[in-house]
């Protein structure tokens, strides 16, 4: 089994493997080119992202800067919006559904290191996948840890550290992130209420 196969299957692997090092170098070059483009060079931005990522829908916007380890392990659905300064460590598969919004400074970390120092010092690493469902909104400065699934329609509050699965159609926040309440009818009507304008 190659180090890449170990990496993608959740086994301990060596990131120093030449095949993996070359793949990271490719991603580093593509993200560098993407991040150096002028903001209105959207056609070239999208071309680079299509070359970098494993899959992405037809309608998307990823604001600069954007960083990832490999790119090819990221699968993104339709109508994706990603605000500034997103980092995705995709040593394991990252799957993002349709109609997903990322606020600034969202970080998805599939990568991890052994807790035992002696084992960690050998250079062995691991990666577990992250899955984000459809219609999810991830707030600013959110960190999603390895082996987490966020269900369809969930909203993750700003500053959260998501260490375990979040069910569908809930508002969740905190460190560690926990469910606060379901997304409800009041969340649909709230924005249509008349309110006095503060002076």
Is 88 among the residues known to form the active site? no
Q: Say which of 78, 113, 140, 157 is annotated catalytic.
A: 113
Q: How many CB atoms lie within 10 A of CB 181?
A: 10
**DSSP secondary structure, the chain, as one string:** --HHHHHHTT--EETT-HHHHHHHHHHHHHHHHHHHS-TT-HHHHHHHHHHHSSB--SSEEEPSPEEES-STTEEE-SSEEE-SSEEEE-SS-EEE-SS-EE-TT-EEE-EE--SSHHHHTTTEEEE--EEE-TT-EE-TT-EE-SSEEE-TT-EE-TT-EE-S-B-SSEEEETTTTEEEEE--HHHHHGGGS--PPP-
Residues classed as catalytic: 113
């Amino acid at each position: 089994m190659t180090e890449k196969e170990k990496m993608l299957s959740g086994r301990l692997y060596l990131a120093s493997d030449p095949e993996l090092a070359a793949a990271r170098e490719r991603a580093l070059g593509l993200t560098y080119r993407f991040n150096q483009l002028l903001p209105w060079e959207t056609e070239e931005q999208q071309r680079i992202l299509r070359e970098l990522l494993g899959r992405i829908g037809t309608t998307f916007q990823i604001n600069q800067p954007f960083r990832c380890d490999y790119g090819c392990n990221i699968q993104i659905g339709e109508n994706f919006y990603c605000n500034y300064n997103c980092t995705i460590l995709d040593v394991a598969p990252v799957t993002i559904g349709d109609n997903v919004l990322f606020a600034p400074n969202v970080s998805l970390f599939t990568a991890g290191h052994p807790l035992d120092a002696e084992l960690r010092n050998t250079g062995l690493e691991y990666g577990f996948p992250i899955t984000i469902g459809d219609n999810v909104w991830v707030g600013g400065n959110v960190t999603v840890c390895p082996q987490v699934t966020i269900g369809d329609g969930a909203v993750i509050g700003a500053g959260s550290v998501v260490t375990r699965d979040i069910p569908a159609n809930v508002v969740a926040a905190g460190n560690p992130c926990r469910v606060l309440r379901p997304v409800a009818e009041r969340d649909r009507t709230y924005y249509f209420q008349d309110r006095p304008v503060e002076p």
